[in-house]
Each structure stands twice: as C-alpha cells, then as structure tokens.
Amino acid sequence: MPDRKSIIDIQDMRKVYDLGTIQVEALRGVNVNILENDYVAIMGPSGSGKSTLMNLIGCLDTPTSGEYILAGERVAHLTDRQLAEIRNRRIGFVFQTFNLLPRASALQNVELPLVYAGESPSERRRRSKEALEAVGLGDRMKHKPNEMSGGQRQRVAIARALVTNPSIILADEPTGNLDSKTGDEIMQLFEKIYANGNTIILVTHEEDIARHARRIIRLRDGLVESDQIVSRAA
C-alpha cells in the first residue's frame, strides 16, 4: 500500500475568544496530523475545545496563532473567497441538526453546494440523484424534510456533504438526534464512505460512536490529552 500523505497538519494552534472584559483560551497549543483516508473521532468534555478545533479544521473560523496546512496549502494566507472555495470543494459537512432547507425537496437540498459551485442545472441534478442513491434514498428524492424520519434526513445531509466529491467529511455529533438503531445505520454509512477513500473526522461525546473510528483524539482544557489508534477485532 502506498504511503498516505498528510492532508491536515496543525502546529501549535491557539484560539482565544475576546469576550470584552475576559479572554477565553479555547485551544492552547494543539498539534494534530491527519493522513489521507484517516477515520478520526475527536472527543472531550464540554469546554475542552473540540468544537473550536472542528470549526478551525473546517475553515469556518481562523486561529489566533499557529499553523494550519490543509492539503499542502497554508490556510492563514488564504482569502475569504479561497476559504469558501475550500469549504465547498474539499470538505463536506454533516451536522447534528441536519441543517436542511425545510421547504426544499431532498434533491434540492443536495443540489445546494453545486449551485454555489456554479454547476449547470442538468449536472446538479445528475450528481445529486447519484448521491441520494448512494445513501439509499433513491425513492425519497421529492420528499421534504418533514416527510422523512430523522435517519432519512441525516442521510440527505450526508448526500449533500458527498455531492461535491470532497476528500474530507467533517461530522459534528452526526447521531446526536437519532435513536441508537438509526445511529448505528448512519455509522454503517460512514464506514462505506471511509472504505471509498474519504478522510472522516467526527466530533462526538459518545464512546460507542467513537469506537467506529480508527483513531481517537481526546482533548481536555484546550490541549490534546491523548491520541490513540483504536484496536479492532479481526
């Protein structure tokens, strides 16, 4: 198997929030290296910095100091437009609350990133149909979110994350609003995405969900407390 390249390299990353009279140090010098086709779970108690780290990895926020190299590009030197392009092209986001447009069909929701990417209507429709079929929703394309179960809505969100063919999938508590059986089904879907070669990074507070990953990074008080490979039964 060829050596995998580093896709995310974070060096001494710090994030300080200025709240007027006080400053909150959310990250206090984090070092993380993630390779292509890694499957990483980020865990930690409330206030540990895991959501801050996720936002920085996803280029939704900028660090106060430190270096972030994403697929060979130094993020600190990119313009807002370039960051938006990276978010749309390289990274697919999956959220706990699905973040779907309530009045749009499943197909229209999945098409949205391709609208921003400037794809033609016919290409948007073709790729969105393929993405929905890939997550098992080929028969639900015209349904709106309120006509679907929580698990189906999360599958739509995953299809939307996949439709731009990103190398990285960022999932923030992707099973948080689902019952355990549906949550297991969603994690099986992530397993298929990982098998297809994507890099998956998920934030979770649930140990059983984290064990689906191949590596668990634990944060505490804005620092990496541990970074370990998950042992898996043969």
- Could you tell me what percent of the chain has a pLDDT over 70? 98
- Res. 133: pLDDT tops 90: yes
Q: How far apart are CA 190 and CA 205, in angstroms?
A: 17
Q: How far apart are CA 100 and CA 166, in angstroms?
A: 19
Which tokens go with 122?
């016919």
Q: Exposed, middle or buried: residue 23 (CB in 10 Å: 0-12, 13-18, 19+)?
A: exposed
Which structural domain, as residue segments, surrounds residue 218? 36-61+80-229
pLDDT in tens, 190-201: 999 999 999 999
Per-residue pLDDT at 116: 87
Per-residue pLDDT at 156: 97
3-state secondary structure of 5: coil
Task: Look up the CATH number of the domain holding residue 84.
Answer: 3.40.50.300
The band of 234, judged by pLDDT with boundaries at 50, 70 and 90, is: very low
Displacement of CA 217 from its chain's centroid (Å): 15
Note whether 91 and 58 are within 8 A (CB).
yes
pLDDT in tens, 16-44: 999 889 999 999 999 999 999 999 999 99
- Res. 157: pLDDT tops 50: yes
Indicate the number of domains in the chain: 1
Backbone φ and ψ for 88, nearest 5 degrees, come out as -85, -30
198 belongs to a structural domain: yes
93 strand-pairing partners: 170
- Res. 228: pLDDT tops 60: yes
Cα–Cα distances in angstroms (integers) from residue 151 to residues 115, 170, 176, 183, 225, in the given order: 25, 18, 11, 8, 33
pLDDT in tens, 93-121: 999 889 999 999 999 999 999 998 899 99
Residues in the chain: 234
101 belongs to a structural domain: yes
100 belongs to a structural domain: yes
Q: How many CB atoms lie within 10 A of CB 95?
A: 17
- Res. 45: pLDDT tops 50: yes
75 belongs to a structural domain: no
pLDDT in tens, 72-100: 999 988 899 899 888 888 999 999 889 99
Per-residue pLDDT at 76: 85
7 belongs to a structural domain: no
22 belongs to a structural domain: no
Q: How many CB atoms lie within 10 A of CB 29?
A: 14
Please give the single-letter amino acid code of residue 72: G
209 belongs to a structural domain: yes
Closest CA to 58 of 26, 23, 14, 94: 94
The band of 218, judged by pLDDT with boundaries at 50, 70 and 90, is: very high
Per-residue pLDDT at 77: 84
The helix (run of H) or strand (run of E) holding residue 225 is strand 223-229
24 belongs to a structural domain: no
- Res. 215: pLDDT tops 90: yes
